[in-house]
């Protein structure tokens, strides 16, 4: 089940992520995002949720 | 390859002996019990193990000296137990460098350190580094002392064909080729096994991405025997380097080369010198160093579907090729040899029925598939095959510098011996749920009250460890006589008689605190175990393993 956040909190994530990807730069952006997934996976502690999200995000690219 | 000006056997530290072929007169015995093709460590071990079980063999080797191609260095604990059983362990211990620890570095910073399991109950360290040619030399010294082994150098197998109840082998000899008929042929003739090709068999599996140059250098380098893995080091950007210490101030440097590089270019002496020099500088070596030898390597996971073809058995690299990262190539080869040796010896001596031999493939191929599973993981980490694997690997490395959990992805998972729990030569667990060593597993060792180890007491055949409790109704004589009828070398070890166990450490470590019985196979794997000791049912179980049920 997804953890719901208030729109304002999600917007904060949205903005921070955009800035961080720019800070990483185009070349490092992919490895930065992969790292983020691994760290969040460890912190969330729910492997099924992460695996579903990985599949979900593969759509409509 | 060696530096310009040095011959293929001109090592900086090892003297390759030269062995003459046998005289023509020595080759005239027409029928043999066992012929072993290939006197690398696996073939040598097979000959010694057969001899330890009372079986004579002819050991054929194409070359006139020890191996100068294959360069295994890591010898695992269980292999040391196997070497002990054939009387070759002391020389290996005196020369080898033991180790337990590995360190992984990312861009020059250490992010992970692992220790392989080791306790006071273990007789040997989890791993030793010993050059393959030393291992071959020490095995050869044991072979030379052994009257049951007829070693023939410069004797390649040229043809193989089936004959009545055996195999006919044509053997090359500078003094004239000749033919041997043998009941059994063990093919330990290496990764490019000519016998495998002559039998029309093929290895199946995968070739992995990534090529490594393997270089041995000699230098005084004050760093302990700790295996180092450098990921993305300054000296080899984007690639991986492995560093192992070996005896005689020899260091193994394995480094991955780019996918766009040719093997010919990357193995030119000037190129190897330049890259090794950069790596040594990065690990802080400032003094002199010399190139001893180098080669190129890429990872494969290949195996035969079936390790037996009629009266031919395949052992070691002729049956399976595994990536170096799990250090199981040599170690699994030695385990193959120990495994087939006791089974074949008991069949030849009519102590076991022929169906015992059917357990060789499932047990040893199972061990190979186990390695494939683990080695494929570590190979993908060492040498990511695609953009996805590479990104996530790099992400894990980067993360691991500040978050410990991510370091575990880089654990090489150097493996414990495979368990034969599903084999026809082990029994269902009659003590299911107990801790200790279930059937199929290698027996857990225990340091005894008197400083010896439990494995020191085991016999060359099957052994029984009896954690006797006051409630046992069975008598020693009854057990001994029933089990000796099946295996004349059966050795019964009874608590309180054959060993003392003041703190009941043996009983507890084997999961038998209230009494019980283990049957141990000659290769130190557990055949079966029982809480309740009834001589009749234990004997029936052993008879089943030996394909003698109903006797």
Which pLDDT band, with edges at 50, 70 and 90, does A2 fall under? low
Residues 6+ apart with CB under 8 A from B494: B466, B468, B476
What pLDDT digit, counting tens, does each position of B178-208 carry? 999 999 999 999 999 999 999 999 999 988 7
Give the mean model confidence (pLDDT) for residues B323-331: 83
- CB contacts of A39 in chain B (<8 Å) are 399, 403, 406
How much of chain A exceeds pLDDT 90, in percent?
84
Q: ipTM above 0.95?
A: no
Q: What percent of chain B has pLDDT over 70?
A: 99
Residue A3 has pLDDT above 70, yes or no: no
pLDDT in tens, B258-275: 888 999 999 999 999 999
Q: Which of B391, B392, B399 sits opposite A39 (nearest CB)?
A: B399
Contact yes or no for B395 and A42 at CB 8 A: no
> Is B405 in Cβ contact with A35 (below 8 Å)?
no
> How many Å apart are CA B259 and CA B269, to the nearest integer?
19
Facing A31 at nearest CB: one of B394, B403, B405: B394
Chain A, chain B: beta-carbon pairs less than 8 Å apart: 26
> How confident is residue A1, by pLDDT bands cut at 50, 70 and 90?
very low
Q: Which residues contact B408 (CB under 8 A, 6 or more apart)?
A: B112
* B425 CB burial (10 A radius; 0-12, 13-18, 19+): buried
Q: Which DSSP category does B222 fall into?
A: -
pLDDT at B299: 83
Which pLDDT tens digit goes with each residue over B111-163?
999 999 999 999 999 999 999 999 999 999 999 999 999 999 999 999 999 99
Please name the residues in contact with B367: beta carbons below 8 A apart, sequence gap of 6 or more: B328, B332, B335, B417, B418
Please say if the pLDDT value at position A4 is more than 70.
no
> Which whole number is the average pLDDT over B437-441?
94
The tens digit of pLDDT for each residue in B368-406 reads 998 888 877 888 888 888 999 999 999 999 999 999 999
Residue-level length of chain B: 551
Once rounded to an integer, what is the mean pLDDT over residues B493-504? 88
- Select from A34, A39, A42 the Cβ nearest to the Cβ of B392: A34
Res. B412: pLDDT tops 70: yes
CB contact under 8 A, A34 and B405: no
- Cβ-defined contact of B395 to A34 (cutoff 8 Å): yes
- Residue carrying structure tokens 């019990």: B33
Mean per-residue pLDDT, B451-456:
95
Which chain B residue is nearest to residue A43, measuring alpha carbons?
B405
Does B62 contact chain A (CB < 8 Å)? no
Instruction: Look at residue B209 and tell me whether its pLDDT is greater than 80.
Output: no
For residue B399, the chain A residue with the least C-alpha distance is A35
> Which residues of A are less than 8 Å from B403 in CB distance?
39, 42
Pick the residue of B232, B399, B406 with the most A CBs within 10 A to test the interface with A by mutation.
B399
CB spacing of B391 vs A39 below 8 angstroms: no
Q: State the pLDDT at residue B158.
A: 97
Looking at beta carbons, which residues of chain B come within 8 Å of A34?
391-392, 394-395
B402 touches chain A (CB under 8 A): no
Taking CB atoms and an 8 Å limit, are A38 and B399 in contact across chains?
A: yes
B264, containing H or E segment = helix B263-266
Nearest-Cα residue of chain B relative to residue A36: B395
- Of the candidates B232, B417, B256, B207, the residue with the CA atom closest to the CA atom of residue B327: B417
Q: What integer pLDDT is reported at residue B175 of this predicted model?
A: 87
CA distance A6 to chain B (A): 29
pLDDT in tens, B274-308: 999 999 999 999 899 999 999 998 888 899 999 99
Query: Average per-residue pLDDT in chain B?
Result: 93
Cα atoms in the 13 Å half-sphere on the side-chain side of B285: 22
How far is B536 from A26, CA to CA, in rounded Å? 74
Note whether B170 contacts A: Cβ–Cβ < 8 A.
no
Give A-chain residues touching B402 at CB under 8 angstroms: none
Interface of A to B at Cβ within 8 Å reads 30-32, 34-35, 37-39, 42
Per-residue model confidence as pLDDT tens digits over B330-360: 999 999 999 999 999 999 999 999 999 999 9
Residue of B nearest to A27 (CA): B391
Contact A31 B399 (CB under 8 A): no
């Amino acid at each position: 089940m997804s953890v719901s956040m208030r729109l304002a909190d999600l917007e904060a994530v949205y903005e921070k992520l955009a800035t961080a990807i720019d800070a990483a730069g185009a070349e490092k952006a992919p490895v930065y995002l992969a790292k983020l997934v691994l760290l969040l996976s460890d912190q969330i502690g729910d492997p099924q949720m992460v695996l579903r999200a990985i599949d979900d995000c593969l759509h409509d690219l | 390859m060696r530096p310009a000006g040095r011959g293929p056997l001109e090592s900086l530290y090892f003297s390759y002996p030269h062995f003459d072929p046998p005289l023509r007169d020595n080759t005239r015995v027409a029928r043999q019990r066992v012929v072993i093709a290939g006197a690398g460590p696996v073939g040598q071990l097979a000959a010694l193990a057969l001899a330890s079980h009372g079986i004579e063999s002819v050991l054929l080797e194409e070359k006139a000296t020890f191996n100068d191609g294959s360069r295994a260095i890591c010898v695992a604990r269980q292999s040391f137990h196997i070497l002990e059983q054939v009387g070759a362990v002391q020389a290996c211990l005196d020369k080898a460098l033991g180790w337990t620890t590995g360190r992984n570095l990312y861009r020059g910073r250490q992010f992970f350190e692992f220790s392989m399991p080791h306790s006071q109950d273990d007789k040997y360290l989890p791993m030793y580094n010993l050059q393959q040619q030393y291992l071959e030399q020490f095995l050869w010294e044991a072979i030379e002392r052994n009257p049951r082994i007829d070693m023939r150098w410069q004797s390649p197998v040229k043809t193989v064909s089936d004959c009545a109840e055996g195999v006919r082998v044509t053997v090359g000899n500078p003094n004239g080729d000749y033919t041997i008929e043998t009941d059994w042929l063990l093919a330990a003739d290496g990764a490019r096994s000519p016998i495998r090709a002559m039998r029309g068999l093929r290895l199946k599996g995968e070739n992995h991405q990534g090529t490594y140059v393997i270089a041995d250098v000699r230098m005084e380098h004050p760093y302990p025997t700790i295996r180092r893995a450098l990921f993305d080091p300054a000296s080899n950007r984007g690639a991986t380097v492995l560093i192992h210490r070996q005896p005689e101030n020899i260091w193994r440097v394995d480094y991955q080369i780019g996918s766009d590089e040719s093997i010919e270019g990357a193995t030119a002496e000037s190129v190897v010198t330049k890259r090794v020099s950069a790596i040594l500088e990065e690990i802080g070596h400032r003094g002199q160093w010399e190139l001893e030898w180098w080669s190129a390597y890429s990872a494969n996971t290949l195996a035969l579907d079936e390790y037996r073809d009629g009266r031919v058995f395949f052992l070691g690299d002729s049956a399976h090729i595994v990536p170096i990262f799990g250090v199981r190539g040599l170690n699994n080869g030695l385990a193959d040899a120990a495994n087939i040796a006791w089974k074949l010896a008991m069949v030849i001596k009519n102590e076991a029925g022929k169906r015992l031999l059917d357990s060789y493939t499932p047990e040893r191929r199972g061990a190979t598939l186990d390695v494939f599973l683990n080695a494929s993981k570590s190979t993908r980490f060492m040498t990511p095959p695609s953009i996805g694997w590479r990104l996530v690997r790099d992400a894990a490395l980067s993360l691991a510098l500040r978050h410990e959990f991510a370091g575990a992805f880089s654990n090489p998972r150097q493996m414990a011996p495979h368990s034969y729990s599903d084999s026809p030569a082990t029994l269902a667990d009659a003590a299911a749920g107990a801790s200790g060593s279930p059937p199929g597993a290698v027996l857990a060792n225990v340091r005894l009250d008197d400083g010896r180890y439990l494995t020191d007491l085991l016999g060359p055949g099957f052994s029984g460890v009896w954690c006797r409790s006051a409630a046992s109704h069975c008598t020693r004589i009854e057990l001994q006589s029933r089990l000796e009828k099946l295996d004349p070398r059966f050795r019964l070890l009874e608590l309180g008689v054959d060993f003392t166990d003041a703190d009941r450490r043996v009983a507890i470590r084997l999961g038998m605190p209230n009494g019980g019985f283990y049957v141990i196979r000659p290769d130190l794997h557990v055949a079966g175990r029982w809480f309740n000791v009834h001589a009749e049912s234990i004997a029936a179980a052993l008879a089943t393993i030996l394909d003698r049920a109903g006797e």
